[in-house]
Chains A and B, each alone.
Chain A
Amino acid sequence: MLVQPISDAIIRVRDITVQFGRTRVLDGLDLDVKRGEILGFVGPSGAGKSVLTRTIIGLVPKVSGRIEVFGIDLDAASSSERRRVERRWGVLFQQGALFSSLTVRQNIQFPVREYLRVSQRLLDEIMVAKLVMVGLKPEVADRYPSELSGGMIKRVALARALALDPELVFLDEPTSGLDPIGAGEFDELVRTLQRTLGLTVFMVTHDLDSLYTACDRIAVLGNGKIIAAGSIADMQASQHPWLRQYFHGKRARAVIG
C-alpha cells in the first residue's frame, strides 16, 4: 500500500475511476490529504491531474469510487450538505476564471454577498483585507480583470478563493505563467496563508521550486494511479523512472543547486 489510512484526512479519495469515452484517465486511484498540509500534486502533462481535481470538486463525473471531503461522502450528501461543503473550500482555476464583467471588488465580494448577510462596509473591509493578504494594493479594487496582469489575475483569483475563509483550497497550477520571482512570491504567499489561516492546500503544479519551497508532501500521478506519495526526500530516493527523470533531470539539478 502506498497510501496508509490516515485518521485526520480532510480529503479521502478511494478507488476512483474516471473515463472519457474509451480512455480511462484515472484507474482505481486512492489519495489522502491531511488536515493542515500543503500537498503538491505532480505528474506528466495529460496524466489527469486537473481531472482528479475537477472530480473531487464535482465538475467531472466519475465511473466508480468514493470521495469524502471533511468526512462527508459527496455522493451520499444531500444538496444542502453539499452546499455547506462547497462553502468550506475555495478553488483557484488555472486561468483564474474571474468574472470578466465584474470588478476585482465585486469578484471577491461575490461569494461573501451570496452566503452571508453582512453590511457593505464589512464587505469592503474584508475585500481589502483579502487583497492585502494576497499582496495587492487596495487601489486595484475597481479595475476589471481585463485590466490586470497575469500575476495579478492569479492573486485576485486566490483572494476570491479565500473570500469565505475556507478550510481547504484547491490550486490548479497557481504559478504557471508567472515569472520566477512572482512564482516564488506566490509560493511564499501560500505558505504564509497556510500558517495564518490554518489552510489545507491541494496544489497541482509543474513547478519544481514550488515543490521544494511550499509543499509538505508530494503525490505523483501516473497511469491513472498514485505512483508515489511522500516527502521530497522520498521522491528523490525513489527508483521510479519518471520520478528519477523529474527529480534528477537538468532542471531539477538547477533548482537544487
Chain B
Amino acid sequence: MNGDPTLERITQGGGLALCAAGPWTARFAPVLERMVADAEKLRGTRPDIFIDVSQVSKLDTFGAWLIERLRRSLSHGGGEATIAGLSENYSSLVDEVRRVKETPEAETGPVSITAMLDQIGRVVVGIGGTIIGLIDMLGAVLVASGHVLIRPRSFRLTSTIHHLEQVCWRAVPIVVLITFLIGCIIAQQGIFHFRRFGADIFVVDMLGVLVLREIGVLLVAIMVAGRSGSAYTAELGSMKMREEIDALRTMGFDPIEVLVLPRMLALVLALPILAFLGAMAALYGGGLVAWLYGGVDPEAFLLRLRDAISINHFIVGMVKAPVMAAVIGIVACVEGLAVQGSAESLGQHTTSSVVKGIFFVIVMDGVFAIFFASIGM
C-alpha cells in the first residue's frame, strides 16, 4: 500500500475507528500533522476510539509520535483511545516514543522596556569590566616581562621572530601601498584647494606635518589592528576553545609568557617600523603628485619640506607608535582569552578586538595630541 498516507474515520455501531494507512514517515510529516490535528477535534465525542494502524505500510519516529500524540489527545476528554493492529516490528518504536513525557518550551527572554534597560545597564557595567580587564592584562604582561628579565633564557625568541615576520615583514607591501595612495590623495586635494589662493607650495607643509605627526602612525595603527589584532584574537581564541591554553597551564607554563608576551613584543617592534615606512611612502606619494599634478618639482618639494617640518614632528609620530601597538596587542589578547566554547563567540570577540583596538588607538591619539600641545612639541 503505497502512495500518500491516510487517516479514515469508520463508524462501527457506537464506536469510532480511525484507520491509518500508507507510509507514516518523515517525508509525509507535514500532511500527517494536518490529518492528526483534524482528528484531534474528535476529542470527547465518543467514549471509545480505536486507532487502527494495521494498514500502515511504513512507520518511523515521526509517524509513531503523531499516532501517540493522537492517542493522548483523544484520551484527554474523558474517553479512552487505544491503538490496535500494531505489527510486531513497530511496537517497540511506539513504546519508545511513549516514553516522551513533556516537551520543555524553548527559553525566550522577556521583551520589554525593562529588558532593554537591563541590556543597557549590562553594557555600561561591561565597559568598566573591559577597562579593568585591559589593566589586568597590562599588569600580567609586565609581570611576565619581569620574569623574562630575571631569567632571559625563558624568553621565546623563535616565537617572537615568527610573529615579527607575520605582523611586520608580511604587512609591509599592503601598508606601503595604502599609505602611498593616501599621500597621493592628500597632496592632490591640498593642491586643488590651495591653488585658489595661489598657495600651492603650502601643500608640502600640510603633507609633511599631517603625515609625520598624525596620519602615518594613525593609519598604520588602524591597519595593524585590523590585520594583526584580529589574527591574535582568532589564534588565542581557537586555542582557548580547544583547551590548548589549559594544557599549557597544567604543564606549568604561563600562557601570558608563552603566548602573549612574544606577540606583544613583536607588535611593539613592528608598529614603529611600519609607521616609519608608511610615512615615507606617503611623503613619496605626495611628492609625486605635487610634481606631476601641481608642478612642484622634487627639488623645490624637498627644500620646502626641510623648512616646514622639524625633527619634533617626526619624534611625535614615532613615540606614539609603540604605545598604540601595546594597546592593540593588549586588547587583542584580552579578547582572545575571553572566547567561550562556540564558533559564534570566536567571531564576536574577533570583531570586538578590532573595534575596540581602533577605538583605543584613536583615543590614545587624542590624549597624545593634548600632551604634546601642552609640552609645546
With A101-B344, A132-B99, A164-B26 in contact, is A126–B33 under 8 Å at CB? no
Please give the distance in Å from A25's CB to the nearest CB on chain B.
26
With A116-B30, A119-B33, A129-B65 in contact, is A142–B342 under 8 Å at CB? no
Of the candidates A139, A142, A195, A196, the one having the most CB atoms from chain B within 10 angstroms of its own CB is: A196
Counting CB contacts under 8 A, is B341 at the interface? yes
With A118-B30, A142-B107, A196-B93 in contact, is A165–B100 under 8 Å at CB? no
Chain B residues, CB < 8 A from A81: none
Which residue of B69, B89, B103, B106 is within 8 Å of A142 (Cβ)? Answer: B106
Q: Are A197 and B61 in touch, CB under 8 angstroms? A: yes
Q: Are A165 and B341 in touch, CB under 8 angstroms? A: no
Q: Are B97 and A146 in touch, CB under 8 angstroms? A: no
CA–CA, A138 and B26, complex, Å: 21
CA–CA, A178 and B100, complex, Å: 26
B88-117 near A? 1/0 per residue, CB < 8 Å? 010011001101111111110000000000
Please give the distance in Å from B275's CB to the nearest CB on chain A.
37
CA–CA, A164 and B25, complex, Å: 9
CA–CA, A7 and B302, complex, Å: 88
Q: Are B341 and A144 in touch, CB under 8 angstroms? A: yes
Tell me the dominant secondary structure on chain B's binding face.
helix
Counting CB contacts under 8 A, is B314 at the interface? no
Counting CB contacts under 8 A, is B343 at the interface? yes
Chain A residues, CB < 8 A from B100: 125, 128-129, 132
Q: Are B342 and A165 in touch, CB under 8 angstroms? A: no
With A100-B344, A119-B33, A147-B341 in contact, is A126–B89 under 8 Å at CB? no
Total A residues in contact with B, Cβ cutoff 8 Å: 36
Chain A residues, CB < 8 A from B345: 101
Chain B residues, CB < 8 A from A100: 341-344
CA–CA, A112 and B27, complex, Å: 10
Chain B residues, CB < 8 A from A197: 60-61, 93
Counting CB contacts under 8 A, is A124 at the interface? yes
Which residue of A118, A139, A192 is within 8 Å of B29 (Cβ)? Answer: A118
Counting CB contacts under 8 A, is B340 at the interface? yes
Q: Are B61 and A144 in touch, CB under 8 angstroms? A: no
Counting CB contacts under 8 A, is A22 at the interface? no
Counting CB contacts under 8 A, is A198 at the interface? yes
CA–CA, A101 and B344, complex, Å: 5
Which residue of B25, B69, B96, B344 is within 8 Å of A125 (Cβ)? Answer: B69
Chain B residues, CB < 8 A from A112: 26
B11-48 near A? 1/0 per residue, CB < 8 Å? 00000000000000111011001000000000000000
Q: Are B97 and A145 in touch, CB under 8 angstroms? A: no
Q: Are B106 and A195 in touch, CB under 8 angstroms? A: no
Q: Are A125 and B103 in touch, CB under 8 angstroms? A: yes
Which residue of A118, A126, A146, A192 is within 8 Å of B61 (Cβ)? Answer: A126
Chain B residues, CB < 8 A from A124: 103-106
Counting CB contacts under 8 A, is A1 at the interface? no
Please give the distance in Å from B95's CB to the nearest CB on chain A.
8
Counting CB contacts under 8 A, is B284 at the interface? no
Counting CB contacts under 8 A, is A232 at the interface? no
Q: Are B343 and A101 in touch, CB under 8 angstroms? A: yes
A125-167 near B? 1/0 per residue, CB < 8 Å? 1111110110000110110111100000000000000101100
Please give the distance in Å from A57's CB to the nearest CB on chain B.
19
Q: Are A122 and B29 in touch, CB under 8 angstroms? A: yes
B337-351 near A? 1/0 per residue, CB < 8 Å? 000111111000000
Please give the distance in Å from B76's CB to the nearest CB on chain A.
16
Q: Are A141 and B104 in touch, CB under 8 angstroms? A: yes
Counting CB contacts under 8 A, is B62 at the interface? yes
- Ordered by A's residue number, 13 sampled pairs between the chains whose C-beta atoms are within 8 Å are A100-B344, A117-B30, A122-B29, A122-B33, A122-B62, A125-B65, A126-B62, A129-B61, A138-B102, A145-B342, A165-B62, A192-B92, A196-B93
Closest 8 CB pairs of A and B: A146-B341, A101-B344, A100-B342, A165-B60, A101-B342, A196-B93, A196-B92, A128-B103
Known: A138-B104, A142-B107. 13 other contacts (CB 8 A): A116-B30, A118-B29, A119-B33, A122-B66, A124-B103, A126-B62, A129-B65, A142-B104, A144-B342, A145-B341, A165-B25, A195-B92, A197-B60
Question: Could you list which residues of chain B lie within 8 angstroms of chain A, going by C-beta atoms?
Answer: 25-27, 29-30, 33, 60-62, 65-66, 69, 89, 92-93, 96-97, 99-107, 340-345
